């Protein structure tokens, strides 16, 4: 059997894992949620949740993956040894694989829209108005084409494997993404009206935190943002060297993910208010625009009003979105591909093309039945399945996996870990607190009592 690939360096892993984490969830989801839910008060609660709940689950996944050096199903089976829990492990791995694939099926549609708007921004430089209007009006043909292109890009990276695909492309795309984000923030903050947006984002309104529903959406957001539950981080962890300290790397990835989410708020909120300054209507029924309306109506309105720099700002913005989507989508596709390659002895290129095509087929189904399927798939995967899978991972790592084995694994790359605060808190935390907290929030999201 061929030697299993690994990331070539720590930086390569951080780029890949942060690339997976930083996605549309950070740049689009987080700022709008924060703005609508108490601004800085939401940001603070999110930071607390990310470190208290999401980081421990991230650690669990990274450790499981590196210990087993395998895809999620095999890894979760392996830590169960020959106990009756093996079946649960296998089930969790396969369930995660289905959820990762379904997330990709809707994510690729949205990413396709970003690509269409990116092309539109270029086209507008040449004044081709017929093409522009086709690119910005929703149609099955447009969505099918651009979702297909996005899936091909995703498959292309995954065919390349861990070093020459995931690591190489993430290391190229992540710095570009950060650079674009920074340039856009500086530019937008200098525009009239930007300060108003900053105020909405940064002035805390603690009264809104009393709503328990908010805690749940913040938790969902944190899980989605750190790509948890579905086995993405587990698989990336399985390509890590035994010389690396997992608690430190996991911390770094969490920090980058949160940093980018926060920074995205410094772009999106001011941009909304700059758009208002140019005459855009930014409130619908008293609530600040969020959703597709924000990205595909308000922001294009803003770019159109900016004169000759407008198209370039639009190019930068939609390129930023497309890059963020691509570094995440490759991590989603890697989950089923790693599983099929390792368990079914299929070659990587074959697996990537086959699975990518099937997922694209599901995307096409969603596009054809958008109104009834899209919301359902999003809720099933992100609202219900991701927390449930995170819970199952914690239960398996905390209750089924032998504590001695876990310690040996975490000591690799961090020999003095036994004396650290991390080791005193985290194992019990993952075993008792995380499952209970996730369960409470999960039950609440299924039966919203308050």
Judged by the rule CB under 6 A, the positions of this chain that interact with ligand PHE are 20-21, 23-26, 100, 103, 224-225, 227, 230, 232, 328, 331-332
Query: In angstroms, what is the minimal distance from the CB of 190 to ligand PHE?
Result: 28
Distance CA 102, CA 104 (A): 5
Q: b or e along 258-293 (b: 16 or more beta carbons within 10 Å of the residue's beta carbon)?
A: bebbbbbbbbbbbbbbbbbbbebebeeeeebbbeee
Residue whose CB is less far from ligand PHE, 20 or 37: 20
Distance CA 155, CA 333 (A): 8
Per the CB < 8 A criterion, the answer to whether 98 and 402 are in contact is no
- Structure tokens that stand for 202 in this block: 């940064």
Query: In angstroms, what is the minimal distance from the CB of 100 to ligand PHE?
Result: 6
Residue whose CB is less far from ligand PHE, 135 or 166: 166
Query: In angstroms, what is the minimal distance from the CB of 119 to ligand PHE?
Result: 22
Query: In angstroms, what is the minimal distance from the CB of 361 to ligand PHE?
Result: 20
Closest by CA to 33, choosing from 228, 295, 214, is 214
Query: In angstroms, what is the minimal distance from the CB of 123 to ligand PHE?
Result: 27
Q: How far is CA 247 from the centre of its chain?
A: 20
Characterize the bridge pairing of strands 283-284 and 287-288. Answer: antiparallel
What angle do helix axes 10-21 and 310-344 make, rounded to 10 degrees?
A: 110
Residue with tokens 């890894």: 75
Query: In angstroms, what is the minimal distance from the CB of 345 to ligand PHE?
Result: 25
Query: In angstroms, what is the minimal distance from the CB of 1 to ligand PHE?
Result: 28
DSSP state of 181: H
Q: What are phi and psi of 283, to 5 degrees?
A: -115, 135
Q: b or e along 170-190 (b: 16 or more beta carbons within 10 Å of the residue's beta carbon)?
A: bbebbeebbebbeebbebbbe
Residue whose CB is less far from ligand PHE, 62 or 274: 62
Residue whose CB is less far from ligand PHE, 275 or 366: 366
Residue whose CB is less far from ligand PHE, 98 or 400: 98
Residue whose CB is less far from ligand PHE, 107 or 117: 107
Distance CA 105, CA 362 (A): 6
Residue nearest to ligand PHE (CB): 23
Per the CB < 8 A criterion, the answer to whether 367 and 109 are in contact is yes
Residue whose CB is less far from ligand PHE, 64 or 194: 64
| Side-chain half-sphere exposure of 295, counting CA atoms within 13 A | 21
- Structure tokens that stand for 154 in this block: 């995703």
Residue whose CB is less far from ligand PHE, 25 or 311: 25
Query: In angstroms, what is the minimal distance from the CB of 327 to ligand PHE?
Result: 9
Query: In angstroms, what is the minimal distance from the CB of 224 to ligand PHE?
Result: 5
Residue whose CB is less far from ligand PHE, 257 or 342: 257
């Amino acid at each position: 059997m061929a030697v299993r690939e690994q990331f070539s360096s720590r930086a390569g892993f951080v780029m890949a894992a942060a690339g997976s984490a930083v996605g549309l969830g950070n740049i689009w989801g987080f700022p709008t949620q924060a703005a609508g839910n108490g601004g800085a008060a939401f940001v603070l609660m999110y930071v607390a949740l990310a470190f208290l709940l999401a980081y421990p689950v991230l650690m669990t996944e990274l450790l499981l993956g590196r210990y087993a050096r395998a895809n999620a199903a095999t890894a979760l089976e392996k830590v169960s040894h020959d106990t009756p829990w093996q079946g649960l492990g296998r089930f969790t791995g396969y369930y995660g694989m289905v959820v990762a694939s379904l997330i990709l099926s809707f994510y690729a549609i949205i990413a396709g829209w970003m690509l269409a708007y990116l092309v539109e921004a270029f086209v507008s430089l040449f004044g081709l108005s017929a093409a522009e209007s086709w690119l910005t009006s929703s149609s099955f043909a447009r969505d099918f084409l651009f979702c297909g292109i996005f899936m091909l890009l995703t498959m292309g990276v995954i065919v390349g494997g861990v070093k020459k695909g995931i690591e190489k492309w993430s290391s190229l795309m992540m710095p570009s993404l950060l650079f674009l984000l920074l340039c856009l923030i500086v530019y937008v903050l200098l525009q009239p009206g930007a300060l108003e947006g900053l105020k909405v984002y940064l002035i805390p309104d603690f009264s809104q935190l009393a709503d328990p529903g908010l805690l749940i959406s913040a938790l969902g957001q944190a899980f989605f943002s750190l790509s948890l539950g579905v086995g993405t981080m587990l698989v990336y962890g399985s390509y890590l060297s035994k010389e690396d300290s997992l608690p430190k790397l996991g911390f770094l990835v969490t920090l980058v993910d949160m940093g980018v989410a926060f920074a995205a708020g410094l772009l999106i909120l001011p941009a909304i208010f700059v758009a208002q300054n140019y005459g855009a209507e930014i409130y619908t029924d008293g609530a600040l625009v969020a959703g597709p309306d924000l990205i595909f109506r308000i922001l294009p309105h803003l770019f159109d009003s900016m004169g000759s720099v407008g198209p370039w700002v639009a190019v930068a913005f939609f390129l930023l979105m497309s890059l963020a989507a691509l570094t995440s989508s490759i991590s989603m596709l890697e989950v089923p591909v790693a599983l099929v390659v390792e368990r079914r002895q299929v070659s990587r290129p074959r697996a990537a093309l086959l699975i990518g095509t099937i997922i694209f087929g599901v995307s096409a189904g969603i596009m054809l039945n958008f109104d009834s399927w899209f919301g359902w798939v999003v809720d099933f995967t992100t609202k219900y399945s991701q927390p449930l899978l995170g819970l199952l991972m914690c239960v398996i790592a905390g209750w089924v996996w032998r504590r001695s084995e876990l310690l040996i694994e975490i000591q690799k790359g961090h020999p003095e870990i036994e004396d650290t605060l991390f080791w005193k808190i985290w194992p019990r935390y993952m075993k008792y607190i995380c499952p209970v907290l996730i369960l409470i929030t999960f039950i609440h999201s299924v039966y919203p009592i308050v």
